[in-house]
Structures are given as C-alpha cells and as structure tokens.
C-alpha cells in the first residue's frame, strides 16, 4: 500500500507517493516560505500534500528538521523554520486528512532510507550526515533509528564550535 511522504526543509517542501521498495509514483516540490512564518510554511505543507494525495494512501510520514519529539509528533523549535515552536504537526496532519501520521527528524529519516534502500543497504549500523539549509545527522543501530533518551541523539548541528564567536545560529547559540 502506498504512503505519502513529506520532506520539510528550510527552503523547500517535497511530497511524494511511495510504494513497494521506495518506488516514487508521484511528487511535487514547493518553496517553504520559512521567512514568512509558521502559518505560511504550514500552508505550503498542506498544498504539497493535497497536490499528490490520492485514494489508497494509508499513512503520511513527515521528515522535518529538529529538534522534535518523534513519539508525540511535536516539532519543538527548528532554527530554519521561524515560528515553529512546539507545533503538534502529527496531530494537525492526522486531523486534517484522517490518516495516521508520524513525524521524524529529517536526518534520521534519511539515515533509515539509506540503511534500507541506499548506500547502507545490508549494514546493521549506519551514520548519516545531512548538509543542507541546516546541519544534521542520523544514526541507525541494529536496523532501527537511534533516538537516544529524548529523541535528539544525533542533533549534531547544534554543537557550538566557538562559543565566543560573533556568528550565531538561527536558534541564537553562538559559534
């Protein structure tokens, strides 16, 4: 049965219908409109979903920059998505489309995809580094995403290199 996958990034949102062994049946990409705030970005998420949603889809999976809580589906405060503070994204999507929805850190989702279908196929443990609008990492151990104690195990993008630096992350941390 096909699923609808959504990848929310700092500059674009991609959505697609995926079946079987990662066969992409349909897809769309739209600008995130992150500088315009949460409501504009959420409207783009809905637009992308509606653009590819079709009968027979049985679930929606969303890859989103962290930090987030994969158990509750709440997006906590991603630096490249202004205004996304404690957004119950899974609940919003489930309510709107009547389909089960899971939210996962985008780098974790990419790590799992590589472990299942890509360069890490056949490997039990995979480390994935994501370099895009933000910096992230994902860890797969024993064939499963490693979330750590609070769902933030691989948040490597928030390691300060020089705490005295005048340069600041979008989250406000220096260095």
Per the domain annotation, does 175 fall within a domain?
no
Residues 49 and 92 in one domain: yes
| Element (DSSP H or E) covering residue 50 | helix 38-52
Query: pLDDT 10s digit of each residue in the chain, 175 long?
Result: 899 999 999 999 999 999 988 899 999 999 999 999 999 999 999 999 999 999 999 999 999 998 899 999 999 989 889 999 999 999 999 999 999 999 999 999 999 999 999 999 999 999 998 887 777 889 999 999 998 877 777 776 666 677 788 887 766 777 6
Residues 88 and 120 in one domain: no
Q: What are the backbone angles phi and psi of residue 113, rounded to the nearest 5°?
A: -60, -40
Residues 51 and 121 in one domain: no
Radius of gyration of the chain from its Cα atoms, rounded to whole angstroms: 16
| Res 158: pLDDT | 61
Please enumerate in sequence order all residues whose Cβ is within 8 A of that of 31, keeping only pairs 6 or more positions apart, or say none.
11, 12, 13, 44
Q: Name the pTM for this structure.
A: 0.88
> What does the pLDDT look like over 115-132, one tens digit per residue?
999 999 999 999 998 887
Residues 15 and 101 in one domain: yes
Residues 119 and 90 in one domain: no
Helix axis angle, 89-97 relative to 38-52, nearest 10°? 40
Per the domain annotation, does 173 fall within a domain?
no
User: Which residues span the domain enclosing 55?
Assistant: 3-105
Residues 92 and 15 in one domain: yes
| Res 134: pLDDT | 73
The CATH code of the domain that includes 131 is 3.30.420.40
Per the domain annotation, does 171 fall within a domain?
no
Residues 74 and 145 in one domain: no
Residues 89 and 131 in one domain: no
Residues 101 and 127 in one domain: no
Per the domain annotation, does 28 fall within a domain?
yes
Please state the domain count of the chain. 2
Residues 146 and 97 in one domain: no
What is residue 137's three-state secondary structure? strand
| Res 170: pLDDT | 64
Residues 43 and 99 in one domain: yes
| Among 136, 129, 120, 123, residue whose Cα is nearest residue 169 | 136
Residues 87 and 115 in one domain: no
């Amino acid at each position: 049965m096909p699923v609808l996958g959504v990848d929310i990034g700092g500059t674009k949102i991609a959505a697609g219908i995926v079946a079987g062994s990662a066969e992409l049946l349909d897809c769309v990409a739209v600008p995130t409109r992150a500088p315009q705030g949460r409501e504009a970005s959420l409207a783009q998420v809905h637009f992308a979903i509606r653009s590819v949603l079709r009968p027979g889809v049985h679930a929606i999976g969303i890859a989103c920059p962290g930090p987030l809580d994969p158990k509750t589906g709440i997006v906590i405060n991603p630096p490249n998505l202004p205004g996304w503070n404690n957004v119950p994204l899974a609940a919003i999507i489930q309510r709107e489309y009547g389909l089960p929805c899971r939210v996962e850190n985008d780098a974790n989702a990419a790590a799992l995809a590589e472990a299942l279908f890509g360069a890490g196929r056949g490997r039990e443990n995979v480390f994935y580094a994501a370099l895009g609008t933000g910096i992230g990492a994902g860890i797969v151990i024993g064939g499963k995403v490693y979330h750590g104690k609070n769902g933030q195990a691989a948040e490597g993008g928030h390691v300060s290199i020089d705490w005295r630096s005048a340069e600041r992350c979008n989250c406000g941390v220096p260095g």
